Structure 1
Amino acid sequence: MYVLEKAPAKINLSLDVLFKRPDDYHEIEMVMTTIDLADRIELISQNKDCIKIESENRFVPSDERNLAYRAAKLLKDTYGITKGVKIIIEKNIPVAAGLAGGSSDAAATLRGLNRLWSLGLTTKQLADLGAKIGSDVSFCVYNTTALAQGRGEIITEIPAPPACWVVLAKPTQGVSTQSIYQQLSLNESKHPNTNGMIEAIKNNDYSTMCNLLGNVLEPVTVSLHQEVEQIKRQMENSGADAVLMSGSGPTVFALVRQESRARRIYNSLRGFCEEVYVVRMLGYQETLD
């Protein structure tokens, strides 16, 4: 038996950090949505009690460092599952890019194993398990558009954003999320209007959504990686309606309504960085089978 799951990337339309918590995590408010750039997860039953990870991407670990592996182990340990599984990861989302690729793989593994092993768990139960794996996994379990609060595990779903094209550009150098948070000075930060962003999305107001894009981590990453600022300027000069860095970076995305303009931005970036994508905004759950 096997199941297939789509594991889409996420972008942050709004990312705010409110304060540092006693548990050393940060209290955050993020409006996130999915885009049509996705990994493909195939889960195949194994008679032997084991977890195997297979991927052609050399950056994908095959042991406990892999979040999909940890998701499968968490389900096995929590529910006493003695069956095994082979997890084949077709990697399309850039690694260490601020797009939650690993978290989405883990979430897809939770959803898929819930079906493969007939566990009957609700989305909320899967999201609660996901919170034990990583801060973005709970959102990725829902796989829609949502406000994420707490350290990312408190999820409130909202409607999908207005339809548009998304151009993504990832600089060659990866970014350590931990190091970005360590250098964040909340007293000097410009905080985005989270409630305004949610209202703009609910009202299907593309223009206001573009105007309210904001990421409190962006100035920190820009100060360490000038390439991020260069990509932003190139996108803006090529006609983007709005530009923002996703997560802790380094990937930058541009929003546009017209495909022709998206292609123009894409072409203008080919000299700046190797990893450039043109995709559609999703914001709702898709399945492969």
Structure 2
Amino acid sequence: MEIIEKAPAKINLGLDVLYKREDNYHELEMVMSSVDLADHLSFEPLREDQIVIESNKAFLPSDQRNNVYQAAAIIKKRYGIVEGIKITIKKNIPVAAGLGGGSTDVPYCLYGTTSFIAGKGEIVNVLKPMSPCWVILVKPQLSVSTRKIFQQVDMTQITHPNMKELASAILRQDYSDMLYYMGNSLEDVTIPKHPIIQQIKSRMMKFGADIALMSGSGPTVFALCQKQSRAKRIVNGVKGFCDEVYMVRTLR
């Protein structure tokens, strides 16, 4: 029997880096939500005791370097499963893009709904779903290492958006207040290294976005708007500027 599941992309409605911890991780507060751009995973049982990973992308490893492989190995060991599994990944979410398409944000992705995240990303508090709206995702032709961006964070040089107020606005379903409190500390690190991110943000605002913000450590930029006609205008305005443009919806 084959089981097929979707793994949706996430966006950071807000991200604040509070301080660097003694374990060299950073203490974070974030608000995340999911959108209907998703990877598709199919699972088929095997009689042999093995884990087989196949995908539509040549760059994805099919061995222990793959997080899906690692998760399957942990489950097999924990529950004493001797049979094998074949997992086929149809990759749609860009990796190293700030959309959760690689290895980060696993705790949040177990819930997959709008949430307040704390600690180093492992503390998840589910909020109400955010107000429904259109999301335009633009991924420039570059990749950003989350690890390297965090290594270059200077706590004296970054802004600190108020994540608790952002979470409160979402709980109240107050779209205007939500926009007001959205922000991303890591923009202060990534944008100076990759000015195209700011150019994309400016272009999205020019074509009618309610807000344009970098997701995660970048480089993907997302715009929010409530009208489909305006979303289409933003898409048309950035299509000639970047090749990877997605028009999606927030997930309830």
**Under TM normalisation by the shorter chain, which class is it?**
over 0.9
- Give the alignment of 1:1-289 within 5 angstroms: 1-103=1-103, 135-282=104-251, 284=252
CA drift at 1:79 = 2.4
When normalised by structure 1's length, the TM-score is 0.85
Aligned partners of 1:78 and 1:153: how far apart in 2?
20
SS state at 2:116 partner: strand
Aligned partners of 2:241 and 2:152: how far apart in 1?
26
SS state at 2:102 partner: helix
> Which sections of structure 1, spanning at least 5 residues, go unmatched?
104-134, 285-289
* Backbone CA RMSD of aligned residues: 1.0
Contact 2:137 2:245 in 1 (8 A): yes
SS state at 2:63 partner: coil
> Which sections of structure 2, spanning at least 5 residues, go unmatched?
none
Q: Where does residue 108 of structure 1 map in the other structure? A: none
Contact 1:238 1:268 in 2 (8 A): yes
Deviation track 1:229-255 (CA, whole Å, cap 9, x = no partner) reads 110110011110001000000000000
Aligned partners of 2:21 and 2:64: how far apart in 1?
27
SS state at 2:49 partner: coil
CA drift at 1:17 = 1.1
Residue-pair matches, total: 252
Aligned partners of 2:68 and 2:130: how far apart in 1?
28
Aligned partners of 1:179 and 1:141: how far apart in 2?
25
CA drift at 1:102 = 2.9
Contact 2:157 2:188 in 1 (8 A): no
Contact 1:46 1:85 in 2 (8 A): yes
CA drift at 1:67 = 1.1
CA drift at 1:18 = 1.1
Deviation track 1:184-233 (CA, whole Å, cap 9, x = no partner) reads 11122110111111111011111111111110001211011111111011
CA drift at 1:278 = 0.3
Identity of aligned residues (%): 53
1:136 aligned partner, one-letter code: D
SS state at 1:232 partner: helix
Between stretches 70-79 and 157-166, larger displacement belongs to 70-79
CA drift at 1:92 = 1.0
2:107 aligned partner, one-letter code: S
CA drift at 1:78 = 2.3
CA drift at 1:73 = 1.1
CA drift at 1:162 = 0.4
Aligned partners of 2:64 and 2:244: how far apart in 1?
27
Deviation track 1:101-139 (CA, whole Å, cap 9, x = no partner) reads 134xxxxxxxxxxxxxxxxxxxxxxxxxxxxxxx51010
1:43 aligned partner, one-letter code: F
Contact 2:7 2:38 in 1 (8 A): yes
Aligned partners of 1:32 and 1:203: how far apart in 2?
16
1:52 aligned partner, one-letter code: V
Q: Which runs of 4+ in 1 moved over 4 A?
A: none
Contact 2:159 2:188 in 1 (8 A): no
CA drift at 1:87 = 0.7
CA drift at 1:50 = 0.8
Aligned partners of 2:80 and 2:21: how far apart in 1?
33
1:22 aligned partner, one-letter code: E
Deviation track 1:141-164 (CA, whole Å, cap 9, x = no partner) reads 111111111111111101000010
Aligned partners of 1:147 and 1:211: how far apart in 2?
17
Aligned partners of 1:27 and 1:165: how far apart in 2?
30
Between stretches 152-161 and 184-193, larger displacement belongs to 184-193
